[in-house]
Amino acid sequence: MIQIDDAGSGSLVGGTCIGAMRVETGEFFCDIIPIEYYNEENFKNKLYLKKACEIGKKLLEKLKVSKTEKIQVCRGYMFDTFRKWLEQEEYNWESTQILNPLQDIIENSFENYALSLGLPEK
């Protein structure tokens, strides 16, 4: 089973981390929606949703996900476009609340990203 979640979309620092994990093996990949997607014009056009979809597709490719493998997607707005794409492509998916271990892993990934931008540690 694959789980997909995001972290940092409510942060005032940097972009947003999108991550996917194969639960059975712990295999995990993530990528960042760059901060430019949140500037006034791009934000108004919701380009961050398109970028989240692009990243989601890329993560499924990296994990070599088949259309029959179960995919759980965070039910937040960040994945609105991605969920439409999954439906169109006839993947086996559901929208749900994502819990651990992925929740902690993606939050840690976002924290490391924020620190790499120069945010001081606690």
List per-residue pLDDT tens for the chain, 122 residues long. Answer: 999 999 998 776 789 999 999 999 999 999 999 999 999 999 999 999 999 999 999 999 999 999 999 999 999 999 999 999 999 999 999 999 999 999 999 999 999 898 888 877 76
Give CA–CA dist 4/44, Å, rounded: 25
Say how far apart CA 40 and CA 21 lie, in whole Å: 32
pLDDT of residue 67: 97
Instruction: State the Cα–Cα distance between residues 109 and 112, nearest whole angstrom.
Output: 5
Query: Is residue 103 in a domain?
Result: yes
Q: How many domains does the chain have?
A: 1
**82: containing domain:** 66-122
In DSSP terms, 5 is beta-bridged to: 19
What's the predicted TM-score (pTM) here?
0.91
Residue 3 has a pLDDT of 98
Residue 44 in any domain: the answer is no
